[in-house]
């Protein structure tokens, strides 16, 4: 994803030999036990430009934070704060690269490459990368980052061009990947989304991806479904329960017979639920011994009906994404709760019941009811020593408060 950076003094110099040498010096001292504050004080005595020192110390901190997304190689790469926040996790970008490799692609254009997180995975999959980034500082950092990774055994080659994605020449390219940034400046209602709210626009992004042998467009997980093209596979991805992206795949990158996919990544394992179309919701049934909360990717992909069949369950109520059944079926696609008892839904009576059970720490889950869990928790004023979970929802035509426990 492209992003505009400020030209703060010292940041451009970090991509040059003097800046990289300074970063290496800081890394050596830091690994030997010196704090960044102490290192900064010593560097100032050496008459190094204060702006350069500040940029290098911040970069050292960003490298440490980036290890979770990029792995050990983060200690050799360059980051901006905004770019690191927007960068894909390696395990997710590896899945993107695997699609292109499986499609037989050998070259990929990464249009709006940001710091190069996606391109790192493309290179490691053996693909040659032609990356494009419009922001000068980000392009310089991407050029450095991809050169570092391209030197690893078995990796493809990489070029980074400072240019606008929409002016890119795609001749000779097998695969195209884009990560458009959503623009909200000047919009009074950011809930209403149109294709032109993105840079580059969704119309351009989809057409560029569609024009290649294999194409992919990475978008936010909340993308309105009416913006999804009919000729693509839409994939919602969650990592450790957090919904992180919607992937839109064209051509050979889209899998035959699949138009909807929910991809769940837990503890570095990938699980997937797929369908040729949106699944119809299951029938409503009476409350069972267990309540299941589907992962957000399953909900967004509208594959709740498929999951319900796997769990031998039913809906607690039409339009509410809680499932219920009497069998405990282990699944990566939902969190299971064992229903212990039903408590009064009114706050006054609920407070009495929770206090009688010595509950002090309360997890509040809710669907289909207009309740703010944080505000409700304060109003309940619980003082007990025990922990509990309550599920606030609607069963048939009544509001219920279910005392439950997570099934590990």
Whether the Cβ atoms of residue 360 and residue 383 lie closer than 8 Å to each other: yes
pLDDT band at 186 (very low <50, low <70, confident <90, very high): very low
pLDDT in tens, 17-68: 999 999 999 999 999 999 999 999 999 999 899 999 999 999 999 999 999 9
Residues in Cβ contact with 338 at an 8 Å cutoff, skipping those fewer than 6 apart: 289, 290, 328, 404, 405, 407
Residue 182's pLDDT is 74
Q: What angle do CA 64, 67, 71 make, to 5 degrees?
A: 150
Residue 3's pLDDT is 57
- The encoded tokens of residue 267 equal 């503890």
User: What integer is the mean pLDDT of 239-255?
Assistant: 97
Q: End-to-end CA distance of the chain: give it in Å, rounded.
A: 37
Distances (CA, A) of 379 to 21, 358, 387: 56, 16, 17
pLDDT band at 7 (very low <50, low <70, confident <90, very high): low
Confidence check: pLDDT of 2 > 70: no
Rounded-to-10 torsion of CA 318, 323, 326, 330: 160
Residue 189's pLDDT is 46
pLDDT in tens, 107-129: 999 999 999 999 999 999 999 99
Confidence check: pLDDT of 187 > 50: no
Burial classification of residue 62, based on how many CB atoms lie within 10 Å of its CB (0-12 exposed, 13-18 middle, 19 or more buried)? middle
Distance in angstroms (rounded) separating the CA atoms of residues 313 and 339:
14
Distance in angstroms (rounded) separating the CA atoms of residues 408 and 328:
11
Distances (CA, A) of 61 to 7, 23, 67, 372: 19, 11, 10, 36
User: What integer is the mean pLDDT of 375-382?
Assistant: 95
Tell me the average pLDDT of the chain. Answer: 94
pLDDT band at 78 (very low <50, low <70, confident <90, very high): very high
**Would the pTM of this model clear 0.85, i.e. be above it?**
yes
């Amino acid at each position: 994803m492209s992003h505009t950076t400020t030209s703060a003094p010292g940041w451009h110099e970090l991509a040059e030999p003097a800046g990289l040498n300074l970063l290496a010096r800081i890394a050596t001292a830091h690994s030997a036990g010196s704090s960044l504050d102490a290192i900064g004080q010593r560097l100032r005595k050496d008459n190094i430009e204060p702006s350069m020192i500040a940029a290098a110390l911040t970069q050292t901190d960003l490298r440490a934070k980036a290890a979770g997304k990029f792995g050990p190689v983060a200690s050799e790469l360059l980051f901006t704060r905004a770019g690191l926040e927007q960068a894909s996790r390696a395990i997710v970008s590896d899945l993107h690269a695997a699609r292109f490799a499986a499609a037989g692609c050998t070259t990929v254009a990464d249009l709006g490459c940001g710091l190069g997180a996606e391109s790192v995975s493309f290179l490691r999959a053996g693909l040659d990368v032609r990356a494009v980034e419009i922001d000068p500082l980000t392009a310089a950092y991407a050029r450095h980052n991809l050169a570092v990774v391209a030197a690893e055994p078995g990796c493809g080659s990489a070029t980074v061009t400072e240019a606008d994605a929409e002016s890119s020449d795609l001749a000779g390219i097998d695969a195209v990947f884009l990560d458009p940034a959503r623009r909200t400046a000047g919009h009074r209602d950011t809930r209403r989304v149109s294709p032109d709210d993105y840079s580059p626009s969704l119309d351009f992004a989809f057409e560029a991806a569609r024009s290649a042998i294999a194409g992919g467009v990475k978008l936010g997980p909340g993308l309105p479904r009416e913006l999804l093209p009919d000729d693509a596979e839409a994939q919602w991805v969650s990592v450790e329960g957090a919904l992180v992206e919607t992937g839109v795949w064209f051509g050979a990158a889209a899998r035959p017979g699949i138009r909807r996919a929910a991809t769940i990544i837990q503890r570095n394992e990938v699980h997937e639920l797929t369908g040729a179309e949106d699944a119809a919701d299951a029938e409503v049934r009476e409350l069972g011994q267990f309540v299941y909360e589907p992962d957000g990717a399953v909900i967004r992909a509208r594959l709740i009906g498929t999951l319900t069949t796997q769990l031998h369950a039913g809906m607690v109520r039409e339009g509410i994404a809680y499932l219920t059944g009497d069998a405990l079926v282990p699944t990566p696609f939902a969190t299971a709760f064992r229903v212990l008892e039903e408590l009064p839904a009114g706050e006054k009576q609920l407070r009495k019941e929770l206090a009688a059970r010595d509950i002090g720490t309360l997890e509040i889950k809710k669907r289909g009811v207009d309740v703010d869990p944080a505000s409700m928790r304060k109003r309940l004023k619980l003082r007990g020593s025990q922990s509990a979970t309550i599920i606030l929802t609607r069963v048939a035509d009544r509001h219920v408060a279910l005392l439950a426990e997570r099934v590990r």
